């Protein structure tokens, strides 16, 4: 599916690096005034535990 003109920005899950669609994602949190989206509840919980780490060092690749 194409997004018209790329109007809806895909967000990157800061924990695992997956692309997340902000319009459909149920998992999000606000940290220091910025909204972060997640692919799963597990990533959301992980971010809440280690927010500073993920913002500083970027996503960790999860084993698939």
Q: How far apart are CA 13 and CA 40, in angstroms?
A: 9
Strand, helix or coil at 61? coil
Considering the complex, what minimum distance in angstroms separates the CB of residue 28 from Zn ion? 12
| One residue of 43, 46, 47, 54 binding Zn ion per CB under 5 A | 43
Please tell me whether residue 44 binds Zn ion under the rule CB under 5 A: no
| One residue of 39, 44, 47, 54 binding Zn ion per CB under 5 A | 39
Count interface residues toward Zn ion (CB under 5 A): 6
Q: CB within 8 A of 55, min separation 6: which ones? A: 14, 31
């Amino acid at each position: 599916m194409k997004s018209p003109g790329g109007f809806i920005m895909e967000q990157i899950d800061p924990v695992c690096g997956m692309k997340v669609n902000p319009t459909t994602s149920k998992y999000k949190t606000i940290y220091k005034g910025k909204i972060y989206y997640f692919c799963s509840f597990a990533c959301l919980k992980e971010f809440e535990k280690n927010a500073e780490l993920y913002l500083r060092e970027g996503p960790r690749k999860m084993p698939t």
